[in-house]
Structure 1
């Protein structure tokens, strides 16, 4: 790792030290630190959020700037009420796609640790992560229920590809896929968690998830590094492409067309303008810079992989 990375610490969204060292210490030592952090800083949305509190009709579901339509002609034509509605449905879709991938994540981690060293910190943190993801999925489900009262799922084709990915991905592909998905969701949530224009309970959901996912992403990075030690050029090329392909289907599925329909918009126009929205593409690209640096550092940002990331504006 670079000297700069070695001297950096992650912090939680409230500014408190999250005691997660970024020094390259290996899976066991990193897991020990993450377990200590989880014991001290884990939160529970079921008790922390008042789910019965009425929603302020003037509050957005995400920062307007993070809407896939912000900056388009269509956005300029929408009333304030329509803008609020579309951000709520868009962010509900993003949370629901998060649930879908968190279920894939849990299955991959359980399979990876099936016959692991049960006494080891690595195994114990892996189970801690699974427990966190179960709570996150419930939190997202409750938030979606409260905000829009409906669910969004990937297309049937993407759903089938997700099943294939969770059955076949292992080692650096599994943890690389986990890292990419978590980083992408983290990008959206960091941009909205301190915005007073956003519904208070959504800001709390974002804050909890960002805090706890920082541990998961640190764990995934270390697992990727460990899995790639001494691998062949061919395996690295294949893994890089497979991870990027998974990222493509995750990112392209985040905002489902049905979310536009449920917000009362012209779906075909909304999809078309979102697809060509340079503002939104720029927001995603700049926020994924750290992820791309890591993938490049470990040899997973190959030319074929980079072409895929550019298609979904992560690079």
Structure 2
């Protein structure tokens, strides 16, 4: 396999060198950075009220302040659990490609990426286990690429497109949580550090995905394949958003009939508007690249 995007290597190397230098300058040791309190206050919010899955609906009005705070605790644990699973998956995919034919140019940056994501997975898992006593299990969306589209160019594109979607959705939450003065300092700190690192990963991901898509379309993929790729990414985006609506979370928060509540919330116009806000950067960037239709 030829090197990824050789005609763009100078421009791409310049970006990667700048991001690598920033990663070195921003380096921290996660094992000494955090001062983990023995417990977090249960009479406080652990997730911003604006980010709760019931926000903007009549179902939020039906809950008492104590119930909303309890929901925020478990939705917080679910959010960090989603990060643990998402990071594990992206680490596996990136490690499969580091220092392999075709990925010579980004492999040096991959080392920063892998090291930082491993740190992120550790501190998100630590939060879940310390303050929630568990990590919520993963609900995966199977990729059809391996069976239906064995072309490695399509597989590579889908891998890094999924990583970009995941990181941009998570970063929307990180940026908000890091600035919410009502949250405990530990919660703000975790999200601020993750947002700091993800800003580099997203800059890298946007450029790589764009270039991989340009290379893929220039190779002459037919319209059916193009539509299959778009349909899969739309399903992946929807699945990612729907993962925030967890019947297990509602059960742990003491809210009855979590499966029915999940369905009602996913159909609610206020939640659709919230999803558009969460996904705006994700969908805008993919539309600009020509990956998704406007």
TM over 0.5: yes
Among 27, 30, 35, the residue aligned to 1:42: 27
**Aligned residue for 2:6?**
none
Residues 48 and 183 of structure 2 are in contact (CA less than 8 Å); yes or no, is this contact kept in structure 1?
Answer: yes
RMSD of the TM alignment (CA)?
Answer: 2.5
Query: Greater CA deviation, 49-58 or 292-301?
Result: 49-58
2:245 aligned with 1:245, yes or no?
no
* Residues 62-101 of structure 1 mapped to structure 2, 5 A cutoff: 62-101=47-86
CA distance in 2, matches of 1:126, 1:286: 30
Quickly say closer, same or farther: Cα 1:30–1:166, change in 2 above 3 A: farther
1:54 matched residue in structure 2: 39
Alignment-derived partner of residue 120 in structure 2: 136
| Among candidates 197, 219, 226, match of residue 212 of structure 1 | 197
Query: Normalising by the residue count of structure 1, what TM-score does the alignment of the two structures yield?
Result: 0.79
Q: Which residue of 2 aligns with 1:232?
A: 220
How do residues 105-116 of structure 1 correspond to structure 2 at under 5 angstroms?
Answer: 105-116=90-101
Distance verdict in 2 for CA 1:135–1:212, change over 3 Å: same
Output one character per residue of 1:201-225: Cα deviation in whole Å (capped at 9) or x when no partner: 1111111111111111111111112
Could you say if the C-alpha distance between residues 79 and 108 of structure 1 is closer, same or farther in structure 2, counting changes exceeding 3 Å?
A: same
2:173 paired with 1:188: yes
Q: Is 1:292 paired with 2:280?
A: no
- The 2-side partners of 1:270 and 1:134 are apart by 34
Measure, in 2, the Cα distance between the counterparts of 1:205 and 1:278.
Answer: 31
Structure 2, unpaired ranges of 5+: 1-8
- CA distance, structure 2, for counterparts of residue 239 and residue 111 of structure 1: 21
Please name the residue that 2:108 is paired with.
124
In 2, Cα distance between the equivalents of 1:166 and 1:32? 32
**1:287/1:26 Cα in 2 relative to 1: closer, same or farther (>3 Å)?**
farther
Task: Provide the C-alpha distance between the structure 1 equivalents of 2:145 and 2:68, rounded to a whole number of angstroms.
Answer: 35
Check conservation: 2:241, 2:275, Cα contact below 8 A. no
Q: Unmatched 5+ residue regions in structure 1?
A: 1-23, 307-315
Q: Is the 8 A contact 1:165 1:246 kept in 2?
A: no
Q: Is the 8 A contact 1:45 1:139 kept in 2?
A: yes
Q: Would the alpha carbon gap of residues 255 and 50 (structure 1) be closer, same or farther in structure 2, given more than 3 Å must change?
A: farther
CA contact (8 A) 1:193 1:202 kept: yes
Distance 1:77 1:293 in 2: 35
1:143/1:277 CA distance change after superposition, 3 Å: farther
In 1, the alpha carbon distance for the partners of 2:52 and 2:86 equals 21
- Compute the displacement of 1:250 (Å): 2.2
Moved more, 191-200 or 33-42: 191-200
Q: 1-side partners of 2:133 and 2:281: how far apart?
A: 34
* Aligned twin of 1:149: 133
User: Cα–Cα, structure 1 residues 73 and 228, in superposed 2: closer, same or farther, change >3 Å?
Assistant: closer
Residues 254-303 of structure 1, C-alpha deviations (whole Å, 9 max, x = no match): 3321011011111245324422343333223123222222111111113x
Offset, 1:127: 1.9
TM-score, normalized by length of structure 2?
A: 0.84
